[in-house]
Structure 1
């Protein structure tokens, strides 16, 4: 059996024919017909009766119950079982050898008609005479057609399927099904390709190891396609939910930011779970990996404790990310001051937070820091904030006029920045030479900095037109007599207009 399989898989069908009992054929037909029968028997056995040599009897006499005979197995044909048997006969020189017996050889043509390749009647004999790496030329040709043609056909099937489902989705009053269809663009081609490869390679009568390889490839492509679709669906669904909430509550910025934060963290959690499950399914199809996994589980003990301690920080970081999404001390778009930097929360993952600083630098901070250390959140409860502009003016400055000027600035140049709620001018402090005046305004956190700069610039221009209101250094001059006595003070000059 070992000799027949080795010669047949090497393409030496004329040599493999010596392992067949061909005595029922005429001598002049044994060479040509024997090679053909050997090739056909090889195809049938590879597809329907793969032989494990380690399970065959090692007795020189064969089956003790039936001397000189041994049954390899049987193949179903037309509702009956056809036995595949070998027989011990005397070869050249009187040496006993094992060959497929006459009854088995006579059934080869019927078995091949039922299970053999249909291309034998179409392709010339040159495609069946030689093998390369265990495959004949027609099999290599079929693989090329299946692998490349299958990919092109899968792209076509994907486009047709998406076009059809998109048309159906447009007939409905919902919009989420449109997002579902768009999520399938890309992942859908892989199941089609896997199915085409699985069906196509099964028709090529490949040896069992190669057929198993393509079966695992098709299975892997299906897993990858499902995981890919889930990842795309999570992203599309997150955007869809955010858009729906924003359209229904366009003025509720706090709720929108809070929902965006929860969706971002939930999306990351589900993405990690998808990657883990997909990787496990891909690896568990290999027996070696399954055995290693069972061994690791059986011998966890101290090693499991060590791994658990080593991963404690990573696990706590993941839990911190989940906790942050629930408690929401920060949300997407919040204005925060952290590590002495002011910026906007741009991204929240399971392990870190990205803060975009005002100069477009990105500050990446471990997520646990927002739960363990204090920080400033300028838009925690609402986005409206107060901003101040401090000016130093002379005692002669008219505060009421400054209030009127601030109102004019906010209602004209600053109307696109000011929220119309707070405007005030107060004397914050009286110093020895000047008055400290504070102009207080309110605006959305995104506009507050620009509004403060605008108010400061316009008030400086306003004070420049009134030099008497600018800070002035005052001094008093007294004459001194030769005896050192001070005289009366010199009258101060009139104030500047």
Structure 2
């Protein structure tokens, strides 16, 4: 009797269908890899971000649902779980086990992490279960799947029940239609709102600046137009994209974009601040010392060079902050620092010239052998210092050509600076005249020329005429005059021309070659026979 009962039981068990996982979804395709915890989470995120929610449902334990509802509910749960993980629990796949047995510290579960909900922590886990073919596979366990709707209600999109299903069914580049629409609204609306906020802020600060007696703050408020817009846009972009539940890689891109815009805005404003401050200081000094041209030129030179130094430092620091947010560049920098032996020596030797040039520019701004507007003679050319940078100096030559000279040359080689200590200089005009020239009349003529025709060029300080040298046939006369360095050449030409005209009207004072014939008397010791002897007394 017992044997017959046992045989009947075995027959009944054999006639029952084998237990299967998620039978309402059908057999999973071969591309669904659920052999390890890492493969399960990776496969779920890949299919969910691609919009294949029907395939992503195979990575969930849906056996608690009726078989006829597993297909529709599974796709919906997969989509919702994707949003929750992207927003609240970014997954680091490297921390998950890549072994079929899972984490040896855990019994049957491999926990991804926890998400706070209503004052409690909801664990997100994958569990090893038996598949329809008797194989052991990893899926998101039943307790985690049951909490998906609650998690989505707290952290999911707010417009799920408002927008049509079209906005949630398909994805393009990993984003659903509602997310693309949201990005468009955030970009356009954020830019428009940032413009409005910039105008309101500048208008308010401009009214505050008008209460002060200084003009520097008014110019500084104007300098904020443009740089102030970017931080507002970066803030709105960061807040707006965080509400769109973007995948972690996309959200990282926008986070770095917001950070980059902030750094660019800060560097942009610093450059504007340096320009406004430099112009304000120059204007104040020029208004208080209108007659002290040397001090004004010296200050302009110092401000120009120091401004260039600070601008270069701003560019370098901003570039470093922008690059350090990228892991690849940061690792390259660490590797270069770690292996900075011969490479550092080579780079140091290659940059030696650039560093010396930079230091030369700083030294020139302190010692000031040249200043903006100085009259110099360099490389045999006379010109005016027009621009001083960190690496070169531009000299405007008298014929409006530009001579570009390395800045180190002004520290290594001699040159003439005609306006180093004072702006006025002495110039001479050399004339060759006859011995009969009246020097006093020539002095009077020089005075007349300077006081009348040359009054716009002459500074009224020096006017002398002296006999410089006595030659065998002429006198060398020097007329000495004074004028600002920029006008001295023109004054010398005017004096030379007018004195030549003056001498031309007096031919006797011009250099003359003379010849004179005189009778010659021959003296002898004895009289000639024709003359006879002298009478005796």
The answer to whether the superposition gives a TM-score over 0.5 is yes
Q: Note the residue ranges of structure 2 that are not aligned, 5 or more in a row.
A: 1-40, 521-537
Encode CA deviations 1:450-476: one digit per residue, 9 max, x unaligned: 222222333333334434433334344
User: CA separation of 1:462/1:146 partners in 2, compared to 1, >3 Å: closer, same or farther?
Assistant: farther
Q: C-alpha distance in 1, partners of 2:54/2:519?
A: 137
Q: C-alpha distance in 1, partners of 2:138/2:339?
A: 48
Q: Secondary structure at the match of 1:388?
A: strand
* Residue from 360, 363, 367 that aligns with 2:403: 363
Q: C-alpha distance in 1, partners of 2:192/2:66?
A: 50
Query: Which position in structure 2 is the counterpart of 1:404?
Result: 444
Q: C-alpha distance in 2, partners of 1:298/1:101?
A: 46
Q: Secondary structure at the match of 2:159?
A: helix
Encode CA deviations 1:356-413: one digit per residue, 9 max, x unaligned: 1111111122222222211111111111111122233333433222222222222222
1:40 aligns with 2:104: no
Encode CA deviations 1:431-457: one digit per residue, 9 max, x unaligned: 344333222111111221222222233
1:56 aligns with 2:56: no
Query: Which position in structure 2 is the counterpart of 1:128?
Result: 168
1:185 aligns with 2:225: yes
Q: Secondary structure at the match of 1:421?
A: coil
Q: C-alpha distance in 2, partners of 1:425/1:370?
A: 36
Q: Note the residue ranges of structure 1 that are not aligned, 5 or more in a row.
A: 481-497
User: CA separation of 1:12/1:280 partners in 2, compared to 1, >3 Å: closer, same or farther?
Assistant: same
Q: How does 1:344-383 map to 2 (within 5 A)?
A: 344-383=384-423
Checking the alignment, whether the CA contact within 8 Å between 2:358 and 2:391 is kept in structure 1 is yes
Q: C-alpha distance in 2, partners of 1:373/1:468?
A: 49
Q: 1:45, CA displacement in angstroms?
A: 0.5
Q: C-alpha distance in 1, partners of 2:381/2:180?
A: 64
Encode CA deviations 1:223-282: one digit per residue, 9 max, x unaligned: 122122112211221121111111111111111111112112211221222222222211
1:21 aligns with 2:61: yes
Q: C-alpha distance in 2, partners of 1:186/1:226?
A: 11
1:149 aligns with 2:159: no
Q: 1:62, CA displacement in angstroms?
A: 4.4
Query: Which position in structure 1 is the counterpart of 2:467?
Result: 427
Q: How does 1:160-309 map to 2 (within 5 A)?
A: 160-309=200-349
Encode CA deviations 1:59-84: one digit per residue, 9 max, x unaligned: 43545576543322211112111112
Q: C-alpha distance in 2, partners of 1:364/1:118?
A: 64
Query: Which position in structure 1 is the counterpart of 2:122?
Result: 82
Q: C-alpha distance in 2, partners of 1:140/1:326?
A: 57
Mean Cα deviation higher: 158-167 or 323-332 = 158-167
Q: 1:355, CA displacement in angstroms?
A: 1.3
Query: Which position in structure 1 is the counterpart of 2:488?
Result: 448
Mean Cα deviation higher: 450-459 or 227-236 = 450-459
* Residue from 123, 126, 143 that aligns with 1:103: 143
Q: C-alpha distance in 1, partners of 2:499/2:196?
A: 67
Q: How does 1:310-321 map to 2 (within 5 A)?
A: 310-321=350-361
Mean Cα deviation higher: 432-441 or 63-72 = 63-72
Mean Cα deviation higher: 325-334 or 49-58 = 49-58
Q: C-alpha distance in 1, partners of 2:413/2:105?
A: 83
Q: C-alpha distance in 1, partners of 2:470/2:162?
A: 106
Query: Which position in structure 1 is the counterpart of 2:511?
Result: 471
Query: Which position in structure 1 is the counterpart of 2:424?
Result: 384
Q: C-alpha distance in 2, partners of 1:163/1:435?
A: 76
Q: C-alpha distance in 1, partners of 2:204/2:106?
A: 64
Query: Which position in structure 2 is the counterpart of 1:335?
Result: 375
Mean Cα deviation higher: 295-304 or 202-211 = 295-304
Encode CA deviations 1:38-74: one digit per residue, 9 max, x unaligned: 1111011111112222222344354557654332221
Q: 1:421, CA displacement in angstroms?
A: 0.8
Q: 1:95, CA displacement in angstroms?
A: 4.2
Mean Cα deviation higher: 93-102 or 215-224 = 93-102
Query: Which position in structure 2 is the counterpart of 1:73?
Result: 113
Q: C-alpha distance in 2, partners of 1:395/1:197?
A: 92
User: CA separation of 1:359/1:52 partners in 2, compared to 1, >3 Å: closer, same or farther?
Assistant: same
Q: How many residues align?
A: 480
Q: Which has the larger radius of gyration?
A: 2
Q: Secondary structure at the match of 2:311?
A: helix
Q: Secondary structure at the match of 1:196?
A: helix
Q: C-alpha distance in 2, partners of 1:468/1:113?
A: 116
1:112 aligns with 2:152: yes
* Residue from 23, 44, 52 that aligns with 1:12: 52
Checking the alignment, whether the CA contact within 8 Å between 1:284 and 1:290 is kept in structure 2 is yes
Mean Cα deviation higher: 97-106 or 223-232 = 97-106
Q: C-alpha distance in 2, partners of 1:178/1:417?
A: 40
Give RMSD over aligned pairs: 2.3
